Structure 1
Amino acid sequence: MMRKVVIAAGVLAASAVAAQAATLDTVKSRGTLVCGVSAGFAGFSAPDSQGNYKGLDVDYCRALAAGVLGDASKVRYVSLTAQNRFTALQSGEIDVLYRNSTQTYLRGVTLGLRQGPINFYDGQGFVVKKDLGVKDIKDLKGATVCVAQGTTHEVTLGDYGRANGIDWKPLVFDRVDTMYQTFFGGRCDAMTQDASALAGAVTTAAPNPADYVVLPQTISKEPLGPFTRNGDEVWSDIITWLHYGLIEAEELGVTQANVDEMAKSQTPAIQRLLGASGDLGSRLGLDNKWLVTAIKATGNYGEIYERNVGKASPLKLDRGLNGLWSKGGLMYAVPFK
């Protein structure tokens, strides 16, 4: 009986190891990372005039491809809607989901998916035309509000309205681009979405951005981050430590421009991060210098933020909660040791 138990345990352990390595092995064998993104969120994921995807989420895909495959260009982007994003990951159509996806309790325990570390702290906001004269969310009583189907925004809109006696009239859309066209066409009094996405929509989709204002209040917490499949712990760990590596790089002053020089540093924390000591890459099935390659491709978290949604971008968002913990934000890297 004991022999049978030991054999069974060995089989289970072998199966677990195989499951854990599945996505990493698939990506390496294929030679391309398949990354689920959005096609319509300026600053996060949107194709430019040449069809090249750009944005904060896209840079995470590029950094991941660089770290795992050694080449940031080895990514195939799959444009997903709010309705099909999780199904695409569950079915294996994509390797990882980076698509402005809010992490919630129910998504964490019912989808068979694992929520990665939060890479953007947001909140649900509202945009209106300035000439509507709205200064506060409560001024929207009776308003028609454009909202995307299959999102946390649709649920939160109803919850907040009931809790605060606001009888707004939701107009629900299955496609974000259609929602933008309808709102900027004048059909809705307001539009609700993550505040960062609204800033991007006004910048890129409004006929005259100066005619619109994103209200200062938000009605929810929207912690955004990647999703991977349960049972694939090695792959999920790589996605987790990629994020922490980009944060740690910013904390330690490691940038896209100086990463090669910093790799020669005698500072223990920098040596571990950049693979000069500790064998931290090989423990994930990667080259020990995988984060050097990732940072050379995209820069650290601060560089990714500023380029895509920060002051160097059309959105010009403050760092706020997305600043480093040492500067009043919530971004904090788990130590690499």
Structure 2
Amino acid sequence: MKTSVFLGTVAAATLMAGAGMADTLADVKARGELNCGVNTGLVGFAAPDANGNWTGFDVDICKAVAAAVLGDASKVKYVPTTGQTRFTALSSGEVDLLARNSTWTFSRDTDLKLDFIGVNYYDGQGFMVRKDLGVTSAKELEGATVCIQTGTTTELNLADYFKANNMTYQPVNIDSNAEGEQQYMAGACDAYTTDASGLAATRAAFADPENHIILPEIISKEPLGPAVRHGDNNWGDIVRWTLYALIAAEEYGITSANIEELTSSSQNPEVQRLLGVTDDLGAMIGLDKEWAKRAIMASGNYGEIFAANIGEQTPIGLARGLNAQWTQGGLMYAMPFR
């Protein structure tokens, strides 16, 4: 018994030592490029145009991290991942960061050994149907065929919801949002279920969005956020505080348009620390003084990123809701920069 305990201790120490040796920051700097795992294509969140240029709400997180670490928001290699391949791509080292509308859950955090560094979108699962189906509530979907992405929390939530409401359904399994859209439009399923934000993005891409409705029920909590590998705390800190920099910038009124002016004129101590005017917070995570300033300049503050990609003036048309600043009744709250 003593021998097995000793060997177990040695094995644990070896694993901890291996984890401690991880240095993603050094790898990214040496490579000169950030490998960022994104969706295979979800308009508003992450999608390439005809020339292969990626844009979107999650893409701007990748750009902010690249700007903070490499000094150039364009130094990103976007790696498309599906619901089934995304976590393997991260754990295997294929990507340095996963910014792909992924839900933070207990098992993903612990069993998959991922570290979710924050929430960039508070979401919930919903249902979309054709208007001519005549359904106005998810509780009217008894016996429906439902398109569902495998390897996702939505798959489990769907089963829970129908069981709790004593209803039956027939799943139509899909691997990506593009396939889900195709199957749904071809009539292979009565309803499509995924995060409500994803439904809004999908519907916006339809030629006839007015003929499709998102039902009122939200059946789950889906806190979406970027993730990194477990065991490299410094890299996790860099990505975490880059996200917080974007959120804090909105709170303090720092925008892509006025950031230079505020760098020289703001008397707010928090703003001065954030923009690298005073203190040297970057040194604590292996970066320079202006890392956060560059992150904000990449695509703007959190509010600017939201408005440009998925806000009410875009085809996606999402209201801020829970994703408003904490000062405006929402949940967006950056930890203090001090």
Give the TM-score of the pair, scaled to structure 2: 0.93
Structure-to-structure mapping, 1:234-253, within 5 angstroms = 234-253=234-253
Conserved 8 A contact 1:184-1:207: no
Structure 2 counterparts to residues 277-296 of structure 1, below 5 A: 277-296=278-297
- 8 Å CA contact 1:126–1:195 kept in 2: the answer is yes
Unmatched 5+ stretches in structure 1: 1-7
The answer to whether residue 98 in structure 2 is matched with residue 103 in structure 1 is no
Go from structure 1 to structure 2 and tell me whether the alpha carbon gap of 1:91 and 1:16 turns closer, same or farther (over 3 Å shift). Answer: closer
Counterpart secondary structure, 1:56: coil
Aligned partner of 1:152 in structure 2 is: 153
Letter in 2 for 1:80: T
| CA drift at 1:175 | 2.7
* 2:258 aligned partner, one-letter code: N
Aligned to 2:213: 213
The aligned amino acid for 2:47 is A
Per-residue deviation at 1:113?
A: 1.2
SS of 2:129's equivalent in the other structure is strand
My pick for the range that moved more, 38-47 or 76-85, is: 38-47
- Name the structure 1 match of 2:6: none
Structure 1 position 19 matched with structure 2 position 21: yes
Q: Secondary structure at the match of 2:59?
A: helix
Q: Distance in 1 between matches of 2:188 and 2:20?
A: 52
Give, in whole Å, the separation in 1 of the partners of 2:253 and 2:149: 39
RMSD: 1.6
* Deviation (angstroms), 1:176: 2.4
Q: Distance in 2 between matches of 1:148 and 1:110?
A: 21
Structure 2 counterpart of 1:326, which letter?
T
**Corresponding residue of 2:298:** 297
Report the Cα distance in structure 1 between the residues aligned to 2:132 and 2:207, rounded to whole angstroms: 15
Give, in angstroms, the shift of residue 178 of structure 1.
Answer: 1.4
* Kept in 1: contact 2:245–2:295 (CA 8 A): no
1:281 is paired with a residue whose SS is helix
- Residues 135-161 of structure 1 show CA distances to partners (whole Å, capped at 9, x for unaligned) of 111011111111101010011100111
1:233 equivalent in structure 2:
233
Q: CA deviation at 1:80?
A: 0.4
Deviations 1:102-142 (A, max 9, x none): 01011111011111101100000000001111111101111
**2:262 aligned residue:** 262
Residue 312 of structure 1: how far off its partner (Å): 3.0
The alpha-carbon deviation at position 49 of structure 1 amounts to: 2.2
Q: Measured at CA, do residues 280 and 17 of structure 1 come closer, stay the same or move farther in structure 2, by a change above 3 Å?
A: farther
CA distance in 2, matches of 1:18, 1:70: 26
The structural deviation recorded for 1:15 is 4.9
Q: Is the 8 A contact 1:46 1:53 kept in 2?
A: yes
Q: CA deviation at 1:179?
A: 1.5
CA distance in 2, matches of 1:107, 1:15: 22
Distance, in Å, in 1 between the alignment partners of 2:295 and 2:193 is 34
Partner of 1:310: 311
Instruction: Determine the C-alpha separation between the residues in 2 that align with 1:54 and 1:220.
Output: 27
Matches within 5 A, 1:173-184: 173-184=174-185
1:273 maps to 274
- The residue aligned with 2:58 is 57
1:170 aligns with 2:171: yes
**Could you list the runs of 4 or more consecutive aligned residues of structure 1 that deviate by over 4 angstroms after TM superposition?**
14-18
Letter in 1 for 2:262: M
- Render the CA deviation track for 1:15-63: whole Å, top value 9, x for unaligned: 589625x100000111000000012211110111222111010000001
Q: Deviations over 1:309-336 (max 9, x none)?
A: 0023211100000000010100001111
| Matched AA of 1:76 | K
Deviation larger for 44-53 or 146-155: 44-53
Distance 1:160 1:62 in 2: 37
Distance 1:226 1:203 in 2: 24
Larger mean CA deviation between 319-328 and 109-118 belongs to: 109-118
In structure 2, distance between residues paired with 1:261 and 1:214:
43
Distance (whole Å) between structure 1 residues aligned to residue 18 and residue 28 of structure 2: 18
Amino acid at match of 2:62: C
The equivalent of 2:33 in structure 1 is: 32
Aligned residues: 325
- Tell me how far apart the structure 2 counterparts of residues 92 and 172 of structure 1 sit (CA, whole Å): 28
Aligned to 2:95: 94
Residue 194 (structure 1) aligns with? 195
Question: Following the alignment from structure 2 to structure 1, what is the Cα–Cα distance between the partners of residues 288 and 132?
Answer: 56
**Distance (whole Å) between structure 2 residues aligned to residue 234 and residue 19 of structure 1:** 11
8 A Cα contact 1:273 1:336, kept in partner: yes
The 8 Å contact of residues 260 and 292 in structure 1, kept in 2 or not, is answered as no
Distance in 2 of aligned mates of 1:277 and 1:102: 36
Work out whether 1:41 is the aligned partner of 2:61.
no
Cα distance, 1:168 vs structure 2: 1.5
Whole-angstrom CA distance in 2 between matches of 1:17 and 1:263:
38
Q: Which amino acid aligns with 2:226?
A: P
SS in 2 for 1:199: helix
